[in-house]
Amino acid sequence: MKAARSESGASATIWDVAKRAGVSAMTVSRVVNGSAGVSEKKREKVVRAIDELNYQVNVAARAARIGTLRVGLLYGNPSAAFLSAFLVGALSECGRQGAHLLLEHCDTLQGQRQAIDRLIENGADAILVPPPLCDAPAAIRQLSELGIPTVAVATARPSHGMSAVRIDDYEGATMLTNYLLSQGHTDIGFVKGDPEHTPAQLRYQAFIDAMRAAGHVVPAERVAQGMFTYRSGLRAARELLSQPTRPTAIFACNDDMAAAVVAVAHGLHLRVPDDIAICGFDDTPVATTVWPELTTIRQPITEMACSAVALLIEHIRLQRTGHAHTPQHRLMPYTLVVRESTGAAG
Amino acid sequence: MKAARSESGASATIWDVAKRAGVSAMTVSRVVNGSAGVSEKKREKVVRAIDELNYQVNVAARAARIGTLRVGLLYGNPSAAFLSAFLVGALSECGRQGAHLLLEHCDTLQGQRQAIDRLIENGADAILVPPPLCDAPAAIRQLSELGIPTVAVATARPSHGMSAVRIDDYEGATMLTNYLLSQGHTDIGFVKGDPEHTPAQLRYQAFIDAMRAAGHVVPAERVAQGMFTYRSGLRAARELLSQPTRPTAIFACNDDMAAAVVAVAHGLHLRVPDDIAICGFDDTPVATTVWPELTTIRQPITEMACSAVALLIEHIRLQRTGHAHTPQHRLMPYTLVVRESTGAAG
DNA sequence: CTGAAAGCGCTTACAG
DNA sequence: CTGAAAGCGCTTACAG
């Protein structure tokens, strides 16, 4: 085991690095933590030694010294699939960094304020805000007034004063629409998401714009309102598919609703994708549970949560060492995932 | 924050306890770790002091001393929903205990052996085996030959020499069948799961037995083979529902397949639950994604993963302090969750 | 059975 | 700008 550990290169200590670089452990620590007050010459030596020895800080030892960081997670009512993916990312990054995750649920508007207070009482050093709370102005305002490090995740319109991790929903939806157009679809239906969610707004706008750019006007009867739930998707799908003429494709604003569209289409004895192509958004597990599997835009939810936790921890450490911190806006890559639910128009 | 921390009682150290109990820190450590060689009298004093001060070991400090424990997770190809729920539990318990989780995927039979080797090479101190690998004899044999602490999760027939965490699938399926019978259903169809999985076997056997006990013979045409996937559920559902007469209820061996049965039923313009009642098993997120939401047996996957990690870590610590260790078999509680997809027979 | 000492790898003051 | 010292809370040998 010891052999394995040193093979994987995780066994060098701060002293090993110091010796190799010809400096004190303190200097290494300063370099590792990005503290000011190290000459460029020594910094370089240290950086080289770290690289050669493949040094990584021992987070357990650090935590023993500075105390365990607590990251609060304020979660509202997203889909179970989204929350799972998010938790996996947040928990794994917290584990890697030796931090703890504090969970706090809240539904209502007053609930938000109380949940934030509870998180602070329980010693949260920073707060993670996934949807839908990242789009709740009251919660965002309270958090920035408190001055506690905060990162909003997957909001399409991040506030300037707060760090955020997101994808470009507009671009993603544009790509998906253009893909459908490239498959020969010109008559495309759209299932909107919860109007309170900024990503839902941008995805819809992108769809309309891309259609117009291709010379197609989207008639009102091709658009149905959904709320991101499977159930709302069923209703929207019935609405779209009970028109005198049917679209050849439907773009649903998330995977849950796309799965519902598939179910309704099958109920009407339509073949997917031959009679109707269907696509979703997010690439949550439901996209590969239903059959045919869904073409969708993959939003890297797990990686976004990892990234958000990393930002938060960096923010805390900068703050503790008295450094300035400016909000970071991280844009993550999205991917078009083509599966069986779309194809050339019939 | 300091105030908050001491309020929540997390600030007492081993020295505080030692002082209060009138012993040395070493003695407290021994009591906390269950080491032998402490007089009953002192042990009692220490236990009382721990209780009064609400002492909890600082896992970061412990990890700094004994090294970070690495828990390996060997995952095959279960449903994404199952894996997410499992990961959330495993990661959160690892976080709580200051351990790291090492993920290793494997599909094929040779893949198993290589994946296990890789885990060991990367310094895994113990291994977690969820389905379907917990039912793969070759993998189980290799692990017990290696003598590395291992816990199988959610296998219905755990091997004697290895720790396991599971629910009683037979009892759970019996309860679900009896619930359907109590609702007036006597003609019930069944969608079997992957025959390689022991829980699938027991759930089916329990169904047959409970029906027989109620005086009902299950005809062969009421049973269809599935593989735990949504797609296999579609095929099985079409088979069951294309018979000259239809059952009034269908029991699917997991939620993914039950969701597929719902989709097929709707395709045939059957109302759920009025024309046909449908139930699943596991209570994964898909059970509350589809509409109507599924009646199911809740298997506490997240808690089972927590429990398994805790067992594993206890095992490692006993092993390191030279204590004997006997495999533990933990039976977790299951619950019947009644939702809209079942009701009184039409 | 029991404890004083040393140390895990890191960081916080404190001197230069 | 730089480092020697002390300490985070715990545990591993080592003496009694």
Kindly give the confidence (pLDDT) of every residue in chain A, 346 residues in length, as a single tens digit, with 9 standing for 90 and above: 333 334 444 588 999 999 999 999 999 999 998 887 889 999 999 999 999 999 989 988 998 888 889 999 998 866 777 888 899 999 999 998 889 999 998 877 778 889 999 999 888 999 999 988 888 888 899 998 988 999 999 999 888 889 999 999 999 999 999 999 999 999 999 999 999 899 999 999 999 999 999 999 999 999 999 999 899 999 999 999 999 999 999 999 999 999 999 999 998 999 999 999 999 999 998 898 899 999 999 999 999 999 999 999 988 888 887 777 889 999 999 999 999 999 754 4
d(CA B238, CA A282): 30
Put simply, whether B57 touches A (Cβ < 8 Å) is: no
Q: Looking at residue A152, what is its pLDDT?
A: 96
Q: Looking at residue B208, what is its pLDDT?
A: 98
Mark which residues 203-232 of B lie under 8 Å from A by CB: 230-231
8 Å CB contact between B21 and B14: no
Residue A151: closest CA among A127, A168, A167, A119? A127
8 Å CB contact between A17 and A50: yes
DSSP string of B117-131, one letter each residue: HHHHHTT-SEEEE-T
Beta bridge partners of B277: B249
d(CA A240, CA A187): 12
Q: What domains appear along chain B, each with residue ranges and CATH number?
A: 1-57 (1.10.260.40), 169-299 (3.40.50.2300)
CA trace torsion A142, A75, A303, B118 (10° rounding): 130
Q: How far is CA B115 from the centre of its chain?
A: 21
Question: Dihedral sign, CA of B27, B29, B32, B36?
Answer: negative
In angstroms, the CA of B29 and the C1' of C5 are apart by: 16
Which residues touch A202 (CB under 8 Å, ≥6 apart)?
A: A156, A157, A169, A170, A173
- For B292, nearest residue in chain A (alpha carbons): A231
d(CA A38, CA A222): 63
Cβ atoms < 10 Å from Cβ of A307: 19
Q: Looking at residue B319, what is its pLDDT?
A: 82
Q: Looking at residue A268, what is its pLDDT?
A: 92
Minimal Cβ distance to A80: which of B94, B100, B288: B288
Parts of chain B with a pLDDT under 70: 1-10, 77-78, 344-346
Angle at B81 between CA B76 and CA B86, to 5 degrees: 65
How many angstroms away from the CA of A209 is the closest CA of chain B? 31
Put simply, whether A331 touches B (Cβ < 8 Å) is: no
pLDDT tens digits along B87-110: 999 999 999 888 999 999 887 777
| Residue B298: both structure tokens together | 């809740």
Mark which residues 153-172 of A lie under 8 Å from B by CB: none
Q: What phi, psi does A30 have (nearest 5°)?
A: -65, -40
Between residue 24 and residue 53 of chain B, the positions with Cβ below 7 Å from nucleic chain C are 24-27, 30, 36-39, 41-43
Q: Position A339: which residue type?
A: R
Q: Which helix (H) or strand (E) holds A337?
A: strand A335-337
State whether the beta carbon of B65 lies below 7 angstroms from any atom of strand C: yes
pLDDT tens digits along B50-72: 999 999 899 889 988 888 899 99
In angstroms, the CA of A11 and the C1' of C2 are apart by: 34
Between residue 6 and residue 25 of chain B, the positions with Cβ below 7 Å from nucleic chain D are 11, 13-15, 25
How many Å from the N-terminal Cα to the C-terminal Cα in chain A?
60
Minimal Cβ distance to A94: which of B84, B95, B122: B95
Q: Looking at residue B66, what is its pLDDT?
A: 86
Residue B249: closest CA among B265, B260, B235? B265
Whole-prediction pTM value? Answer: 0.87
Question: Considering only CA atoms, which residue is closest to the C1' of nucleotide D2?
Answer: A27
